[in-house]
A and B are shown apart, each in its own frame.
Chain A
């Protein structure tokens, strides 16, 4: 082959290859499947309705294959007891997997604590889950891009690509991430993406007997969640980190961490 021919063939090959590579752009699955400008998932927690039964935690563990005995969980319920003198006692034994059935508060190494009824000013439960932040710290810090944000606003983890460095666990200001005890990769709540993207409900919301948890489309003005966020006084957790959470709380106290 002459040098001229070689160069010519190379040019043709490169040009042809670049056209076909450009074609890949058209079939980007993200654009096809999820880039729905009408859809952005959000979550509403009504803390007034939560009784701390822990059904959501149980349902979540079953649905998402987190071993029941493992002391990690994708969602949990915290108990707050605010005393008349302003002190706050909090606990969350096993993520409230078994529900709150006793007045004893589990303070880990400090043992069990009971606050006498007459000292209690108020007490309530706060369910927690991944906030699926609009600017998630975990996605920013993942060194390999194994955790990512879908176009409809859900933050997911690719179990096949996660190297297990734990940087996302450290980066999350809400402590929702953990190492999956069996898969040995970072794991967290997915808003039950496999269910909601097929029109279903999340496992936790479905299991809640009191309707304290609700998932909805924030971009749909007729969606009950979007309406509640628009018309009621709702709060978000730890906005000082600038992560813009998408889980909204009705009845959020300043004591809630």
Chain B
């Protein structure tokens, strides 16, 4: 009997609290994983745009962080897909989206857009690191006493070099051209990847909060904001760890050093790079934040001014139920506070990093308020629903759609990055420029 009853729990019932008149089939079907999906794609797109600022627009000052942003963007890429897979009721059929895409659906294009983007990022990384790969092959082949890790790396490099061993000046020049081309191509594709995530929501005509043509543009701007902010924060953190580890010779915290055999960068140099990059990048953060904020507020004003049928319900959600989440967490702590922190003169690295962390939080709250907030009211406009995120899971579903699933998605890119950093050292410095 107990088993039977447990089985009868409908998807969504465990975390949905209904109030007033809600239709019997209505639940918060799209929960934390769908909050994370646009958040993660946004981070991917934003990190890529940051790296492109250097490659395409020749912003020399961003050189070091650009290389890091590119590799980190690649580490984030598989994680953009993870929330979707975790969210599907039939994850093993996820491949159907690629096998039988139904092209009137916005989601059907996911595979195509995502793959195109993945190939562009992979190709760009390949060109950026080609010289390094070839040099590593020569270095490791000549080396007599290889460590176990180095013996593992050599075949990996041999495979990913694709047999292109030419590192003459002419070949490297054409590499640079290719990088520039791919980075330029990548910007519209990255924007498309994320604008398209916005379209998935914006095109749901049944949802009064989501349906706006501004949605894709708002998503793109906030994506760039969050991507840059994450790069600043994680770059700072990784640099801190590296400084700490370099001083004490804890190589396991320096995966690239572990793999490549010792970093030559002294602690002092690390510090100056860190300060310089973080401060410069935060200037770009400010520009994109202004754009994102303008659009979001425009959307809000427009809804209030036109006040169509759904406005009564939306107003209840925006000004009463979700007031804290929208005006305090998202706009207050997540937008205006970091905005001021970045604008005030005498910007220090630490202040820039704290501001960026707040921005990250703000963008996360924005995703939350869009995805969960969009389901906070009934289709009848006469009832409300609340999502109470499962903290302690009691089955696989409450794990996936709760805190556990959220943490797994957030932690994974860092694990991927750790190993990726062994193959493509993201913090490598060279004296070339292009």
Give A contacts to B, CB under 8 Å.
Answer: 67, 69-73, 76, 88-92, 94-95, 107-110, 128, 137, 139-146, 161-167, 169-179, 181-182, 184-185, 240-242, 257
Contacts and interface: CB of A to CB of B under 8 A. Distances in A.
Contacts of B13: 71
Interface stretch (B105-113, B251-259, B334-342, B358-366): B105-113
26 contacts: A69-B8, A72-B24, A76-B24, A108-B19, A108-B20, A108-B383, A109-B18, A109-B19, A109-B20, A139-B104, A141-B105, A141-B203, A144-B102, A164-B89, A165-B87, A170-B207, A172-B206, A175-B23, A175-B379, A178-B27, A179-B11, A179-B12, A179-B89, A184-B90, A242-B205, A257-B381
Interface in B379-396: 379-383
Given A73-B25, A137-B205, A182-B7, 14 more contacts: A67-B7, A69-B8, A107-B19, A108-B383, A109-B19, A143-B105, A162-B93, A166-B30, A167-B107, A175-B25, A178-B11, A178-B25, A185-B89, A185-B90
Contact of A257 (B19, B106, B207, B382): B382
Interface in B1-27: 4-5, 7-13, 17-27
A174 B100 CA distance: 27
A173 B207 CA distance: 8
A91 B21 contact: yes
A100 to B, nearest CB: 14
A181 B8 contact: yes
Contacts of B88: 163-165
Contacts of B100: 144-145, 161
Interface string B300-311: 000000000100
Interface residues of B, number: 54
Contacts of B99: 144
A169 B96 CA distance: 18
B94 interface: yes
Contacts of A185: 89-90
Interface string B56-94: 000000000000000000000000000010011110011
A179 B17 CA distance: 17
B94 to A, nearest CB: 6
A73 B24 contact: yes
B97 interface: yes
Contacts of A72: 10, 24-25
A177 B10 CA distance: 12
A134 to B, nearest CB: 15
Contacts of A70: 8-10
Select the residue from A128, A178, A181, A240 with max chain B CB neighbours within 10 A. Answer: A178
Contact of A143 (B29, B102, B379, B382): B102
B24 A92 contact: yes
Contact of A181 (B11, B107, B203, B204): B11
A181 B380 contact: no
Interface in B116-160: none
B332 interface: no
A98 to B, nearest CB: 12
B76 to A, nearest CB: 22
A92 B25 contact: no
A76 B105 CA distance: 28
Contacts of B9: 70, 181
